[in-house]
Each structure stands twice: as C-alpha cells, then as structure tokens.
Structure 1
Amino acid sequence: MSDPLFPGTSPTGLPQAATPFFPGQDVSPKSSRRILTFLLGAASGAIVVGLTWTVFALLPGLTAPPADNFSLKGSLTLTSTSLSGAYSGSECYGTGGYNDISKGAAVTVYGASGQVLAVGSLVSGRQGAGSLSCVFAFTVPEVPVGEKFYQVEVSHRGKVTVQADQARTTGVFVTLGN
C-alpha cells in the first residue's frame, strides 16, 4: 500500500517497486496465462511444421518421385527368311547373322551429344504377325529428360534417332532384317 502524500512509497516511507503499466493493459494472472498459452501454441505449431518438413524432405519414398526421368518403351521387330527355325516353344530369337538379337540383348539410349544415358535389354521375342517375324519388347528405365532428341541402339546394330516427345510418349519401334 502506498502513502497518499508520497505516491510510490510504502507506509514505512521506503520506495515501492514499480510495475510497468500501459494504458488498456490487463495485468491480471488470467491474461498472463493467455499470453503464455498463445506463445506455447505458436511454438508447438512451429515445431510440428518443422518436423513435418524434415520428414518429407529427408526421407526417400515419402514424396513424389522427381519428374526428371522417364522409362523409354519400344520394340524391335526382326524380319528374316532365316527365322523359320528360330522358335523355341512360344519364344523366338535371331539366328545366323542375327544371333545377337535375343532375350537380354542390350538396348542403349544416348543423349544428343552422344553420351550414354541409360541401358535396358530386350525381353523374350514373340512371333509377329507374319511367320517370319519376331518381336522383342524393351523398357529402358531412368532415362533423363531434357534432351532435344535421343538415339537408341539395340545390340551393335546402329543408332536410331527419335525426338524427345516421341521417346517419352509413344516410344521407339524399329525393324531389322531382310
């Protein structure tokens, strides 16, 4: 309690500790709890947002895969008069001068400047529409986007150039043989 003649002093005449006061400020313990609750809530929210960001940014597989690669799909059709004996059950394969064309043969994708970008392989050949054709499907995963065109080579048979849009959408379909 303060002396009415000397504000800021106690009845003993000693100065009282001043409490800062701002006009309109409620200094009740109830308002202090509200402020503390608000600050704790804001801090908790910031922690939750930070942890969520960390989980999605650092753990692989939880975010969408980047769109900087695609799978190049296609087929090679081998046509040859020498295919008449190149069937084993429902599978077919190249013979004679085409004996490198079979399941597992390399499919290499090159960039516009000639660098190897990705490698895949032929799957088992299946008889095509004619009795003298054998069709090998392939998928080359993880081909980087961003090239103007791609070059595709099966085994050592030479490169076929395809536009980037065609490579990503319709694929590559080549024919080999006589």
Structure 2
Amino acid sequence: MSESEQSAEVSVQDPFPPSGQVPPMPESAPSSDPVEIPRPARGYRWARLSRTAVLFLGVGTGSAAVGICWASLSLLGPDAAPAKSGDGRPAVAATGATRAPGPFATDGTLTLAEVGAGLEAGEVCSGTGGYSDIDLGTQVNVTDADGTLVATGSLGLGEKTEDGCVFSFTVDDITPGSKFYTVEVSHRGGLTQTEAALRAGGLEFTLGG
C-alpha cells in the first residue's frame, strides 16, 4: 500500500464506532444574541422589605383597627356595651316583663262646715267643740282591702273659706295592688276609693253643716 492510500485511510472516521461508545458532539458556537433576564414577580418588592419594616407595618395596621373599634363604641355610647351578670357572663334582657308599680301618693281636703265664724277669708282656723280633734297634725290613715294600714299622713293648717274651715292633706308611700283603699281622718269614718281614684288625688271630706 502506498503512503497516499494510508493517509486517506487514517483521515476517514468510522461512521459506526464500536459498541458502547458515543461519538462526541460538536461544540456549538457561542451565540451573539443578548440573553433576556426575566423580570421579578410582583411580590418581589415585598420580599425586599426588611423584617423591621414588615413588623412596623403589622403594628400600624393593628393600631388602626383598634382605633376604628374604639371610635365606633364611642359613637354608640355606653349603652352599646353588653350588660354582664354577676358571674361575668352577658346578661340576657328579659322580654315581655313588666315592672311592678312602686308606691304612690294621694291628696285631698277636709272641710269643717260652719266653723270659723267671724274670721276673714284666708285666716287660720281649727275645729272647735265636737270637732276639736280636727286640727293641724291630725292623722290621716290609708288601709287596704284587708284592713291593713299601708300609709299615713296628716292635716295641714286650717284656712277659712266661704265653705268653712278647710284642711289640706297629703299621704305618701301608699302600697299599690289592693282592690280598694279606705282613707280616714282621725276617727271620723273612712272614704273608700279605688287605686286609680287615689292616684288621681283631689279627695274631698266634709264634716258638719
């Protein structure tokens, strides 16, 4: 074999290499195109914040929420706060319950006819003769339907009028709830009235005449 034939045989590569060998891949030429760098995601700007900045943002947001709640309660007033029972639990408001009426008062006058002769109108007068028990401070009793004494009052000063000697009185703290009441001045007999009439007041007693 000549030298030229040997050179040609050496330069020709075997297209079928032995089993188990992979022909080397040709290196690609470096690209001259610019490499595009992807833009950071929107959340990246938050990731750049320091822990201290995030902490301040959290505290500020919480303070704003507390301020809004406080302002709302201030506008609603103290009634907005729920009432609590003795054990600290919120009290449940009773519905349909009616409050029992409290004690009440009544007033009226007692007139001694034909008493105070010779006195000018408006002058002070008092009972005489058989009515000597009728005077300033004489007791006025109020009893209920069971005959229980439930309140007392007294007569004021007598004043001369054209009808006679007139005494005014007021009785306070009368216990409510009786079917009827009896009002008696001294031992002169009683005047029986309903609770509504007693609450209205303006009772009138007349003795003599």
Deviation at 1:49, TM superposition (A): 5.1
Q: Decide whether aligned partners of structure 1 residues 76 and 31 sit closer, same or farther in structure 2, where only a CA change above 3 A counts.
A: same
Amino acid at match of 1:34: A
Deviation at 1:161, TM superposition (A): 0.5
SS at structure 2 position matched to 1:102: coil
Larger radius of gyration between Structure 1 and Structure 2? 2
Counterpart among 105, 122, 127 of residue 71 in structure 1: 105
Q: Decide whether aligned partners of structure 1 residues 35 and 101 sit closer, same or farther in structure 2, where only a CA change above 3 A counts.
A: same
Counterpart among 117, 125, 149 of residue 116 in structure 1: 149
Q: Indicate yes or no: 2:169 matched with 1:135.
A: no
What residue is the counterpart of 2:182 in the other structure? Answer: 151
Percent identity between the two aligned chains = 36
Separation in 2 of the partners of 1:101 and 1:135?
Answer: 10
Deviation at 1:70, TM superposition (A): 2.3
Deviation at 1:69, TM superposition (A): 2.5
Name the one with the larger strand percent.
Answer: 1
Counterpart among 55, 64, 78 of residue 34 in structure 1: 64
Separation in 2 of the partners of 1:46 and 1:172?
Answer: 47
Q: Decide whether aligned partners of structure 1 residues 44 and 165 sit closer, same or farther in structure 2, where only a CA change above 3 A counts.
A: closer
Separation in 1 of the partners of 2:123 and 2:154?
Answer: 19
C-alpha RMSD of matched pairs (Å): 3.5
Separation in 2 of the partners of 1:167 and 1:157?
Answer: 19
Deviation at 1:76, TM superposition (A): 0.7
Counting matched residue pairs gives: 135
Deviation at 1:41, TM superposition (A): 6.2
Whether contact under 8 Å (1:92, 1:125) holds in the other structure is yes
Stretches of structure 2 lacking an aligned partner (at least 5 in a row): 1-56, 84-99
Q: Decide whether aligned partners of structure 1 residues 90 and 36 sit closer, same or farther in structure 2, where only a CA change above 3 A counts.
A: closer
Stretches of structure 1 lacking an aligned partner (at least 5 in a row): 1-26, 54-65
Deviations 1:43-101 (A, max 9, x none): 989995599x8xxxxxxxxxxxx952222110111124x654789x8111111111000
Runs of 4+ in structure 1 displaced over 4 angstroms? Answer: 38-51
Separation in 1 of the partners of 2:131 and 2:183?
Answer: 18
Whether contact under 8 Å (2:73, 2:80) holds in the other structure is no
Q: Decide whether aligned partners of structure 1 residues 100 and 36 sit closer, same or farther in structure 2, where only a CA change above 3 A counts.
A: same
Whether contact under 8 Å (1:86, 1:94) holds in the other structure is no
SS at structure 1 position matched to 2:60: helix
Separation in 2 of the partners of 1:129 and 1:43?
Answer: 65
What residue is the counterpart of 2:129 in the other structure? Answer: 96
